[in-house]
Amino acid sequence: MTTTPLRPRRPRLRLAPYLFLTPFLAAFAVFWVWPIGYSLFLSFVNTRTRPWRFDPGFNWGRLVNDSAFWDAFGNTMLILALQVPLMLALAVALAMAFDSDLLRLKGFYRFAFFAPLVLGAVPYSAVFRLIFNADFGVLNYGLGALGLPTVRWLFESTPALVTIMIALTWRWTGYNAIILLSGLQSIPRALYEAARIDGASAWQQFWGITLPLLRPVLLFTFVLSTIGTLQLFTEPWLITNTGPGGATETLVTYLYKQGFRSFNFGYASAIAYAVAITAALFSILQIRLVGGRDNG
Amino acid sequence: MHRILAITFAALALAFASAQTLTVWVWDINKPALESTIDSFQSMHPGVEVIVEDIGNQNAYDRGLAGCAAGGFGMPDVYLVENNEAEVFWAQFPDCFIDLRDLGASELLPLFPAFKWAELTAGEAIHAIPYDSGPTAIFYRRDLYEQAGIDVNAIETWGDFIAAGQAMNAATDGAVKMGTVAKGADDEWFRMLANQADCFYFDDDASQVTVAQSGCVLALETLKDLYDADVLAVGGWVEQIQLIQNSAAASAFFGSWYGGVIQAEAPDQSGMWGVYLTPALESGGVRASNLGGSALAIPASTAHPELAYDFVVNALANEENQLRILFDYGLTPSLLSLLDSPALDQGVEYFGDQAVWSLILGTLGDVPAVAGTAFFQEAREVMIGVVNTYLDGGFASAQAALDQAARQISQATGLPIAD
């Protein structure tokens, strides 16, 4: 009896998938892995003046005691606590209106509320600056015409923060409403019919059917908005210029100033890691609180 | 057909490669001012094209730092740098700009005042050539002051200025203000007033934080008096221009270069403006200070260092060009030989034929000098916030506000607070 020896399998074939992946992996390594690693290293380096020195506690120690950082942190958290829930509540209402059988021209309205996102951030910010201009802006003109007191929107602390929240809400509510609409449309109509037959009011249907079944999509928009708020840069940078006096400074505008105005990359890296850690903690918390029961 | 196209492209490519072009990054009024020197430059270097780009003040700084960090990539051939921000570049990127001694700049040293060079040199190296200075003054609308019955000769101190502002408020029912303060957007007013009192964020060799010293306290108290008296409108750079264009601001307190900005932004108000000296903090005090002023540097990445240098020297060390820049664009020269020039006594039409330049340049000798520092931006960020909070009543006193500012600046820079 002769046995034919097993041919060794050609290992070269196994390389192929990796070769196909190489362009992506190379880009991923150069533009993601390396900066992430290097900025972690930089956060332990004193880069305030040349030459740079390795000093692990320097930037992190400053972060803990830096009142400007904590002010920026507080502003960001305030926007997160007030603007995000308000915007998502509005977005749910808007999504239900989009979904309503009573509404005509649905396509038009869906586009109209999504449109703010199509507009570039710079022209949109410039227009908001004009609208909120204290002396010649249309908003103060309207307030004055109604006999209400006018406000120096961009040059007083609380109004400036309110301006940012209004701008964010204007820009992102429609976007979130469209996402929530997809969630609404996946809720079986039969549930509502059954509820109606059982005599449930519209309000009861909303609390008993719509909201629970919308939860996964709502969680998704919540996490997205949270991360977006933690990375908030455009509006405070272009509309209020982080002012007045840092009243609309956010974590990322502060990071930018440290990195690219003062050229203190080490401290900017520490701030970046603080933002990333905060974002991760929030995401875990939200998924635990809101989404956990789905899996259980 | 294809051959013709190919030849055309080849010819075009050749033309672009051989044409020499200098790119200059500037902001605001400096664009037309420097463009006005191109003709005289091209008479020395025919065929060299010069493109002056207005990229905005803060943007010039941001893009300059980013360009230097990228090893000079994307930098222009000539770069306009504000004096008080210049030190950051020399400290962080000593090789980003050419040491102009290599191109013969040592012979320019006696032509400009020492206080301008202080911020432009690092050790022996010369990194930039002085352009304009920013001696402060009050630009005012003659017609609006007259309507309110205000006599500028009676305004000698900031207290007098407040009284004038109350007269303005009464005459216009508060619709016209005496000036515009960039509350919470910049601390320019504080810096100009503090400079009058010979006080700055840091001491002369930038080794200690001096912002809580008595001169700065007096400056901040004066600013609070002005703000509380409701004689100032609130607005940033753009809002101030809108207020001027709409005749809602009767005057402006800024460095002398702002005269050029007003001329450019409100050409229809020609003849209505005038100038008077900065009011003193206390009776008999200094009526001069400085804000801003800039210089031209040449990035080391330029392909045409000699041409760029010739452009800079022709624009800045040439009396004829500097006089035109002064009279047409309102930028105050640093060139010493011009200070005694009889040409300065000419009236300026825009300012009601007042000889504003001899008035403003006459204060240059009284301006307390301020040393440059690589930590200007950090300190300014802190002060913008502290001044804003103080104006809003967030501190018990100016001293308390500045003690807080000193602590924050010290923490951000690592420099000790002066006793």
Domain at A160, CATH number: 1.10.3720.10
Give residues with Cβ within 8 angstroms of A169, minimum separation 6: A83, A86, A87, A90
Asked if residue B7 has pLDDT above 60, the reply is no
pLDDT single digits (tens) A67-107:
899 999 999 999 999 999 999 999 999 999 888 878 788 88
Give the separation between CA B234 and CA A103, rounded to whole angstroms.
46
| List of domains in chain B | 2-133+292-362 (3.40.190.10), 135-290+368-413 (3.40.190.10)
- Judge whether A10 lies within some domain: no
- Judge whether A196 lies within some domain: yes
Give me A7's structure tokens: 């041919």
Q: What does the pLDDT read at residue A295? A: 43
Nearest to B37 by CA among B322, B298, B334, B293: B322
Q: How far is B5 from chain A (nearest CA, A)?
A: 36
Is the Cβ of A67 closer than 8 Å to some Cβ of chain B?
yes
Among A125, A141, A158, A241, the residue to mutate for chain B (most B Cβ within 10 A): A241
- Judge whether A24 lies within some domain: no
pLDDT single digits (tens) B118-144:
788 888 899 999 999 889 999 999 999
Q: What percent of the residues of chain B are helix, what percent strand, and what percent coil, each to the nearest 5?
A: 50, 15, 35
Inter-residue contact A193 to A281 (CB < 8 Å): no
Question: Over the range B70-106, which residues count as b (16 or more CB within 10 Å of their CB) and which as e?
Answer: eebeebbbbbbbbbbbbbbbbbbbeebbbbbbebebe
Q: Is A263–B384 a contact, with Cβ atoms under 8 angstroms apart? A: no
Determine the straight-line distance between the first and last CA of chain B, rounded to whole angstroms: 81
Whether cis (ω within 30° of 0) applies to the bond prior to A244 is yes
Asked if residue B2 has pLDDT above 70, the reply is no
Q: Is A257–B381 a contact, with Cβ atoms under 8 angstroms apart? A: yes
- Judge whether A34 lies within some domain: no
Phi, psi of A68 (to 5 degrees): -65, -40
- Judge whether A52 lies within some domain: no
Nearest to A134 by CA among B145, B27, B177: B177
Where does residue A115 rank: exposed (0-12), middle (13-18), buried (19+ CB within 10 A)?
Answer: exposed
Q: Is B392–A133 a contact, with Cβ atoms under 8 angstroms apart? A: no
SS3 label, residue A296 = coil
Is the Cβ of A66 closer than 8 Å to some Cβ of chain B?
yes
Asked if residue A286 has pLDDT above 90, the reply is no
Lowest model confidence (mean pLDDT) among A25-29, A128-132, B84-88, B400-404 = B84-88
Give the separation between CA B360 and CA B137, rounded to whole angstroms.
7
- Judge whether A271 lies within some domain: no
pLDDT single digits (tens) A135-179:
888 999 999 999 898 888 888 889 999 999 999 999 999 999 999
Q: Is B389–A245 a contact, with Cβ atoms under 8 angstroms apart? A: yes
Helices marked H in B150-304? 158-172, 188-196, 214-228, 237-245, 258-265
pLDDT single digits (tens) B265-307:
999 999 999 999 999 999 999 999 988 889 999 999 999 999 9
| In chain A, % of residues over pLDDT 70 | 93
User: Taking CB atoms and an 8 Å cutoff, what residues of chain A touch B246?
Assistant: 135-136
User: Taking CB atoms and an 8 Å cutoff, what residues of chain B touch A135?
Assistant: 233, 235, 239, 242-243, 246, 248
- Judge whether A173 lies within some domain: yes
Tally the domains of chain A.
Answer: 1
Q: Is B377–A262 a contact, with Cβ atoms under 8 angstroms apart? A: yes
Nearest to B255 by CA among B196, B339, B176, B337: B196
Is the Cβ of A136 closer than 8 Å to some Cβ of chain B?
yes
Range of the domain at A182: 68-260
Q: Is B92–A157 a contact, with Cβ atoms under 8 angstroms apart? A: no
Give the separation between CA B382 and CA A261, rounded to whole angstroms.
13
User: Taking CB atoms and an 8 Å cutoff, what residues of chain B touch A125?
Assistant: none
For B177, nearest residue in chain A (alpha carbons): A135
Inter-residue contact B307 to B45 (CB < 8 Å): yes
Give me B320's structure tokens: 């004829």
User: Taking CB atoms and an 8 Å cutoff, what residues of chain B touch A248?
Assistant: none
- Judge whether A22 lies within some domain: no
